[in-house]
Amino acid sequence: MELYGILTGVALGLGALLIVVGSVLAILTLMGILLAVVFIKTRQIMIPGVTLFILNLLEAPIKYLLWVFRVEEDFIGRMIVEVRNMLYKEGFEKTPYDQRALFLPQCLRSSNCPAPLTPEGIRCMSCGRCGVGRIIEDAEQAGYRVFIAPGSSLIKRMVRKYHPRAIVGVGCVMEVKEGTAKMASYGLPVQGVVLERDGCVDTRVDVIKLMGKLRSNKKNKVLDSECMRKAVEISNMWLEEPSNVSVRGRGGIFKR
């Protein structure tokens, strides 16, 4: 009888604990939904650190409940990227351009891209078939080290090899969400830019938004008119692929 009493007490204690934990998770889930709704309505992020914790902890149930109300499936992923951008913006802006690295996805290039794969990623040939070459040129002129990554493993290798102090990453929602989390775990201030149109080939990025991130520092908060003009010009390079384009090699992202 004594053992039965002990087991009964343990069972009741565990039951009470489960009820408490379940209640806490339910409250946090409702808070996450509320924070997401506020973001949808106002584009404002309340209490970024707490918001990121809740979204990371309960992303699946929050995503499902929002999906029931017809909120797009990748919304929470995009929100997590925006929250992390906000949390690391100050540290990123304090980092000089020449101590930053930019990682572009290989899917952003033209489907007819002639660029070869090297141990340090895709080597852009500046062929003019898409705007990637111009983005790289502008970023390198500012001081960035730039890579076109065929996969996440290259990002980790290049970070270990070159030790940048800040990162800009471009990709689909899942890639940017996971990649920025990994870089943040290394203690690096990171900024993520989610593709406007994702997929395996011929994706698109908001060049104005990307160049705004690249040029962002403590003094420059917005693009000047010349950078804005250049961003629009680069964006237009994806609209119509030029014919009879000659390929010219460049040292580019692999210069030493």
Domain positions in the chain are 2-73, 95-254
The 3 state secondary structure assigned to 146-160 is: EEEECCHHHHHHHHH
The reported pLDDT for the residue numbered 69 is 83
The sign of the torsion formed by the CA atoms of 168, 188, 149, 105 equals negative
Distance CA 21, CA 27 (A): 10
The SS3 assignment for 195 reads coil
One-letter amino acid at 239 equals L
CATH of 95-254, one of 3.40.720, 3.30.1490, 3.40.50, 3.30.565: 3.40.50
Residue 32: predicted pLDDT: 86
Q: Are 238 and 204 in contact (CB under 8 A)?
A: yes
What's the whole-model pTM score? 0.83
* Average pLDDT of the residues in 166-171: 96
Determine phi and psi for 101, rounding to 5 degrees. Answer: -130, 145
22-59 tens-digit pLDDT: 787 888 888 888 888 888 888 888 888 899 999 998 89
Q: What is the mean pLDDT of residues 174-191?
A: 94
- pLDDT at residue number 9: 63
**What is the per-residue pLDDT for 172?**
93
> How far is 65 from 63, CA to CA, in rounded Å?
6
